[in-house]
Amino acid sequence: MAERRRKAADLAIQGTAPWGVDFHPDHTCAEAVAATPVAAGEIGNRVSVAGRILGLRRAGGIAFADCHDQSGHIQLLASRDVDGGSLLRRVADLDLGDLVGASGHLTRSRAGEASLALDGLTLLAKSLRPPADKHHGVVEQELRYRRRYLDLLTDPSHRRIFRQRSRVVSALRRVLDERGFMEVETPMLQSIPGGGAARPFRTHHHSLDTDFYLRIALELYLKRLLVSGFERVFEIGRVFRNEGLSPRHNPEFTLLEAYQAYGNLESMMDLSQAMVWAAAA
């Protein structure tokens, strides 16, 4: 870590910002890989990508770096024959975890790896701590639960769960919107924690000198909206229950509740079925 701090300080002395650099890639790593020529050695289009360095290696007068973004990864290739070897030295000076912006022409290595032959490299953020091993990830279970960002960084399969959840929530919203439901936001701080049988979290409002509770359900305020004249409402929001804690039970979680006037049990069954189908599609 001391060596990484020294590199960051040296960059600042040289007038190069080690953090907060602006860069606008025109391709994701996956898009760049898809656009790479099929034949080894063939030169393709010039593109720019950005991502985190999670692999570094050197072979003679060539340096390789694995650049990862949320879409995938591509190999960066720097040769001593380009720019007087300046790019080669800059790639060799990178550390695992550094964020870079890279530009160059797409090509394919002798081993068949989609690569970006560099003609430009920008350090976007210097990493002061090394990432977990990319092959084994975060092995210790306790560390995985406490520092999920490290686990997500090294295990793309876990990031896929986040994307799947986002698509599921979008599908649920789409079904409700198509059926005329209006999405609303209701108070999280409530004077009476109702709508469920659970122990609430309590906090104190100093200006009002009154105790409030984090909501344990969405129900009560949604029903009040029906009373006020709205006919179809729903909310996707966080609720809090001061009870057990385990890998499968979180005191803070997301709840969806929908309420419909002039409907009955069959109406809600039909709605539930439509949402499940949309989420599974």
Mean pLDDT by 10 residues, the chain (281 residues): 84 81 94 93 93 90 93 92 84 91 94 92 90 69 79 83 94 97 96 86 94 94 96 96 84 95 95 96 85
Kind of pairing between the strands at 62-69 and 72-79 = antiparallel
Q: Considering the entire predicted model, what is its pTM?
A: 0.79
Q: Which among 81, 83, 157, 72 is positioned nearest to 113, based on CA atoms?
A: 72
Residue 214 shares a structural domain with residue 246 = yes
Range of the domain at 222: 141-280
Domain assignment present for residue 13? The answer is yes
As for how many domains the chain has, the answer is 2
Residue 11 shares a structural domain with residue 93 = yes
pLDDT at 232: 97
The residue from 68, 100, 125 where one domain ends is: 125
The residue from 125, 149, 171 where one domain ends is: 125
Residue 161 shares a structural domain with residue 254 = yes
pLDDT at 137: 65
Residue 228 shares a structural domain with residue 164 = yes
Residue pair 228/239 in contact by the 8 Å Cβ criterion: no
Residue 148 shares a structural domain with residue 266 = yes
Q: What is the CATH number of the domain that holds 94?
A: 2.40.50.140
DSSP label at 180?
T
The residue from 100, 125, 150 where one domain ends is: 125
pLDDT at 135: 61
- C-alpha distances (whole Å) from 215 to each of 18, 133, 187, 210, 246 are 43, 40, 8, 16, 20
Residue 121 shares a structural domain with residue 20 = yes
